[in-house]
Structure 1
């Protein structure tokens, strides 16, 4: 079955997500960038890229995408700022209103500022060997709701989680060339 993955192209590392999903899909589907709410239901899966969560959320509101994303029935692959967007609550920030798609509390910039960005090999449930994770001004989930599977933890919190068809990452799996998480996501979508 050929699949369609849409990459939210409002801000952030959009091209890196498009390239990673194009490589992971191979001949089994196509990847499209989207900026319009009407495109959302046409995709089997959506990638919410890393970037600046406040800016991306403002642009989501401006484009009228909040409700369509909340009602979307496919899978969402969210990295870094995307993890913040999916959350039901953002710790220590009552002004930021996330999409509430996954029942989790996320702490933004959990490791500090840009200069505290780092890379580390982390153990991940579902992978046979450690994943080389790239953390850039990364968040973490500090609480997850019922039915949410923790895929990877770091001392600061949960770095990768999955609930139903959705996956959220504190790090950037689209940057390192290791497509195992992309393939796991596509498998759960039946692609």
Structure 2
């Protein structure tokens, strides 16, 4: 069914559970899709897309040249709504047991920051955010991904 869609959002959740549910066949199909079509990972989805994962080390799709640390912003009780910047504009960002982007590769574009930290990035047709844009009324992130999908058609 992946052949029938123009873009894919990999949502938040538990990244290690995602990998178990995908199994080997699903993992390879998803990896092939992400290499050619627009994909957006939020929170756990960002972890799955990352080239390098810490806390603990985890194998993922490895298609986005970032190093990311799981649960870096604290536990569930530490969840928060913060004001960040997306594309130079103020943006509401919801962090829930969020990972932190520790390092970005030279071809990765930082799309959003919270303080000094990159919290949304793009490399080619792949976007990732450490926060949950679906839980905010701010549509900037959604529009950016839709533009990416439209541009790839």
Aligned with 2:127 (options 167, 184, 187):
167
Q: Which residue of 1 aligns with 2:54?
A: 91
The structure with the largest strand share of the pair is 2
Q: Which residue of 2 aligns with 1:120?
A: 82
Aligned length: 149
Question: In the aligned structure 1, how far is the partner of 2:8 from the partner of 2:16?
Answer: 19
Does residue 45 of structure 2 align to residue 45 of structure 1?
no
Aligned with 1:146 (options 106, 115, 140):
106
Question: In the aligned structure 2, how far is the partner of 1:155 from the partner of 1:58?
Answer: 34
Question: In the aligned structure 2, how far is the partner of 1:135 from the partner of 1:60?
Answer: 25
Q: CA deviation at 1:164?
A: 1.1
Deviations 1:82-123 (A, max 9, x none): 0000001112423x2111111111100011111111111101
Q: Which structure 2 residue ranges, 5 or more long, are not aligned? A: none
CA contact (8 A) 1:83 1:168 kept: yes
Aligned-residue Cα RMSD (Å) equals: 1.6
Query: Normalised by the size of structure 2, how large is the TM-score?
Result: 0.90
Deviates more, 1:152-161 or 1:179-188: 152-161
Q: CA deviation at 1:184?
A: 1.3
Deviations 1:131-172 (A, max 9, x none): 100000000111111211011223573211011111100000
Does residue 62 of structure 2 align to residue 105 of structure 1?
no
Q: Which residue of 1 aligns with 2:37?
A: 74
In our comparison, the structure showing a higher alpha carbon Rg is 1
Secondary structure (helix, strand or coil) at the match of 2:107 reads: coil
Question: In the aligned structure 2, how far is the partner of 1:51 from the partner of 1:156?
Answer: 25
Q: Which structure 1 residue ranges, 5 or more long, are not aligned? A: 1-38
